Copies of this chain bind each other. A is one copy, B any other.
Amino acid sequence: MTAGQLLRTEPSAQPQRVRHSTPPAALQADIVPSYPPPESDGDESWVWSQIKAEARRDADAEPALASFLYATVLSHASLDRSLAFHLANKLCSSTLLSTLLYDLFVASLAEHPSVRAAAVADLIAARSRDPACAGFAHCLLNYKGFLAVQAHRVAHVLWAQGRRALALALQSRVAEVFAVDIHPAATVGRGILLDHATGVVVGETAVVGDNVSILHHVTLGGTGKAVGDRHPKIGDGVLIGAGATVLGNVRIGAGAKVGAGSVVLIDVPPRSTAVGNPARLIGGKKGEEVMPGESMDHTSFIQQWSDYII
């Protein structure tokens, strides 16, 4: 997961800091461990214990959901088994059996700790940034953007191994089932939030950095006239609003914002903002501490722009 290294301006330690300063809404105190994780725990085991506590709470409270929660979460020994099971049953079809996909996901997650770590970072991202996120289990079970990104990471691994036909078949199933179309060659960082996710398209040579938040209907597309490296490069901490279209091998610098509905054909410098169709730049505030991809503030700048241009 070395996506967008050239585009990063923030030290890699920041995501942890931001996460700790904005803890997710607490679960019931009596059934879950305290937040943040104890020093002795890694993020993965801590998040997994949280997910199981949430699932157990929900299974107890809601008999109609208990079977689903046991099958998908509580019967599994680890997060990667649970994720592999869930993805396999979501993406399987009459010609691509769940057992085959399960095997594939189990093996890929076991062999690539970085893919597991990225999944954990994505769970924390959703929990920290999305006010509608009711818990880690909610994201794991119900966020099609989360699931699409995890399946993409496995497809990306396959692509890198030269198993291209399988990678493309996986992309196709994700595009059908989740309406999220990420080319397996695209490089995607960690701490990614695809909120709502319907209609997201990410092209073959696109690069997405860490801690990026992308709303639904966002396109990171080619211009159609080029071959080779022809898709956007999205820096760390970028926020891209709903329905935005970014086309061509342009750079969206770290901490930049792209307004909802914008059509971006130009580079956007770090920490600046692009809005409109076609998008123009409307500057940014110096000294901002928080990355927009993490704060999810994706309209304040448009307001500024509105003020500015009217």
Q: Which of B95, B221, B242 contacts A219 (CB 8 A)?
A: B242
With A196-B201, A198-B199, A242-B201 as contacts: A70 and B66 at CB distance below 8 Å: yes
- The contact of A198 among B74, B171, B179, B196, by CB within 8 Å, is B179
Q: Are the C-beta atoms of B178 and A178 separated by less than 8 Å?
A: no
Instruction: Give the residues from 137 to 163 in chain A that come closer than 8 angstroms, CB to CB, to chain B.
Output: 138, 141-144, 163
Asked if A245 is at the interface of the complex by the 8 Å CB criterion, the answer is yes
Query: Are A224 and B165 within 8 A (Cβ)?
Result: no
- Chain B residues with CB under 8 Å of A310's CB are 280
- A303 nearest in chain B by CB position: B265
Whether B163 and A175, one on each chain, are in contact in the complex, defined by CB atoms closer than 8 angstroms, is no
Q: Which residues of B contact A104 (CB under 8 A)?
A: 64
Q: Tell me, yes or no, whether A117 is within 8 Å of chain B by CB.
A: no
> Which residues in B have their C-beta under 8 angstroms from that of A134?
164-165, 168
Which residues of the other chain, B, contact A176 by a CB distance below 8 angstroms?
A: 90, 144, 177-178
Q: Closest 8 A-B residue pairs measured CB to CB?
A: A224-B296, A142-B172, A67-B71, A225-B297, A66-B70, A58-B165, A67-B70, A63-B75
